[in-house]
């Protein structure tokens, strides 16, 4: 959040004119009253703003450019300052502080804008590129209980292609699966994909569920959808295509409704691919991250997968 400074030099100048308009004895009396209160309030607001721009009094985050310094004691023999002189000095200090805060704010805004521009250059263009799908990276000395980050490697899932000439029996089987038609299109898309998967029409389920996860990435059931898309590939005998979706579902939201399931299915997919190293990494992370599921809802599946993999 950028700090906008509403107090500018013209306002300060106008304030000085108002305050100096009653110079003399009357000014000395008023400065001890309402004007003095207003000036103290202004100084307090500037200090509060300074703390907001420079959080941390120890300079841990930013080095303050504005700091209060002890005022030198008047030299011996010099006349005492008048209320007008004190007020002018304090007003000048406030104006200097605001000028420096404004400059710091502009410099910070410029740095943030440059960072955002660099990030925008690094992001792929969704308009011209093909849909990005998750994949598994080749691990390099990965520590225990650490899943390799996804990359666009050879394990990236390919867009689902519908059969060119489905048989009449296949068409009839798909037509028997009822399409939901409620006022929630996102839920309808997921439900239809689930029904296709439940009917063991895996290629059609893959196509429908991939459309769902790409069109409704923020839907309440997205964790279910990505996990089920991986299941549709895994149950279709395609662990290589299933693994990226399991990994993406786990890494995107580790607290998602089916994140634990996806991590366990990732281990199974790696087992089927005879990638024991990744399978053991996934199992180790599952046992540490989802202790409740490992001894509860997913215990039987966890035990079966673990017994099928020989981990050191």
Q: In whole angstroms, how far apart are CA 191 and each of 186, 198, 244?
A: 9, 10, 22
Q: Which residue has the higher pLDDT, 179 or 84?
A: 179
| Average per-residue pLDDT for the chain | 74
94 — pLDDT class (breaks 50, 70, 90): confident
Judge whether residue 2 has pLDDT over 60. Answer: no
Q: What is the pLDDT of residue 92?
A: 74
Q: What is the mean pLDDT of residues 58-75?
A: 49
- For the chain, helix, strand, coil in percent to 5 are 60, 0, 40
Token representation of residue 10: 């013209």
What local confidence, expressed as pLDDT, does residue 45 receive? 72
Region 127-135 average pLDDT: 34
Across 244-257, average pLDDT: 96
**pLDDT at residue 32, rounded to an integer:** 52
Query: Quick check: 113 pLDDT over 60?
Result: yes
pLDDT band at 111 (very low <50, low <70, confident <90, very high): low
What does the buried/exposed string (b/e) look like for 156-189 if buried means 16 or more CB atoms within 10 Å of the residue's CB?
A: bbeebeeeeeeeeeeeebeeebeeeeeeeebbeb
CATH of domain 168-307: 1.25.40.10
Query: What confidence score (pLDDT) does residue 48 get?
Result: 67
Task: Give, as one character, the DSSP assignment of residue 298.
Answer: T
- Opening angle at CA 166, ends 161 and 167, nearest 5: 160
* % of the chain with per-residue pLDDT over 90: 46
Integer-rounded Cα Rg, in Å, for the chain is 33
- Does residue 208 register a pLDDT over 50? yes
Residue ranges of domains in the chain: 1-60+83-114, 168-307
* pLDDT at res. 40: 78
Percentage of residues in the chain having pLDDT higher than 70: 57
Give Cβ neighbours of residue 147 (< 8 Å, ≥ 6 apart).
247, 250, 251, 263, 266, 278, 281, 282, 285
**Banded pLDDT at 66 (limits 50, 70, 90):** very low
* Cα 149 from Cα 142, distance rounded (Å): 10
Q: What is the pLDDT of residue 147?
A: 55
pLDDT average, residue stretch 51-62: 51
pLDDT of amino acid 130: 34
For residue 96, the model assigns a pLDDT of 77
Residue 24 has pLDDT above 60, yes or no: no
The answer to whether residue 214 scores a pLDDT higher than 90 is yes
pLDDT at 252 over 90: yes
Identify the weakest region by mean pLDDT among 136-145, 147-156, 226-235.
136-145
The stretches of 129-184 forming alpha helices (DSSP H) are: 168-175
Choose between 156 and 277: higher pLDDT: 277
């Amino acid at each position: 959040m950028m700090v906008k400074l509403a107090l500018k030099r013209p306002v300060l100048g106008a304030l000085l004119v108002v305050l100096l308009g009653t110079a003399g004895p009357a000014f000395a009396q008023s400065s001890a009253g309402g004007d003095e209160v207003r000036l103290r309030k202004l100084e307090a607001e500037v200090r509060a703003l300074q703390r907001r721009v420079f959080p941390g009094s120890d300079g841990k985050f930013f080095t303050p450019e504005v700091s209060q310094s002890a005022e030198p004691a008047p030299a011996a023999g010099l006349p005492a300052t008048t209320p007008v002189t004190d007020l002018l000095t304090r007003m000048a200090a406030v104006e200097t502080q605001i000028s420096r805060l404004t400059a710091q704010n502009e410099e910070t805004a410029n740095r943030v804008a440059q960072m955002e521009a660099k990030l925008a250059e690094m992001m792929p263009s969704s308009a011209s590129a093909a849909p990005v799908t998750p994949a598994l990276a080749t691990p390099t000395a990965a520590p225990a209980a650490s899943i390799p980050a996804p990359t666009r490697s050879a394990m990236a899932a390919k867009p689902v292609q519908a059969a060119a000439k489905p048989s009449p029996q296949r068409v009839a089987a798909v037509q028997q699966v009822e399409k939901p038609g409620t006022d929630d299109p996102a839920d309808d898309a997921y439900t239809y994909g689930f029904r296709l998967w439940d009917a063991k029409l895996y290629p059609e389920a893959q196509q429908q569920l991939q459309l769902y996860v790409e069109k409704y990435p923020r839907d309440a059931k997205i964790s279910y959808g990505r996990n089920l898309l991986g299941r549709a590939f895994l149950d279709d005998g395609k662990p290589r295509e299933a693994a990226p979706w399991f990994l993406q579902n786990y890494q995107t939201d580790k607290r998602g409704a089916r994140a634990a399931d996806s991590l366990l299915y990732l281990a199974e997919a790696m087992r089927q691919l005879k990638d024991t190293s990744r399978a053991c990494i996934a199992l180790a992370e599952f046992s540490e991250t989802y202790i409740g599921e490992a001894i509860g809802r997913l215990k039987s599946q966890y035990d079966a997968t673990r017994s099928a993999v020989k981990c050191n």
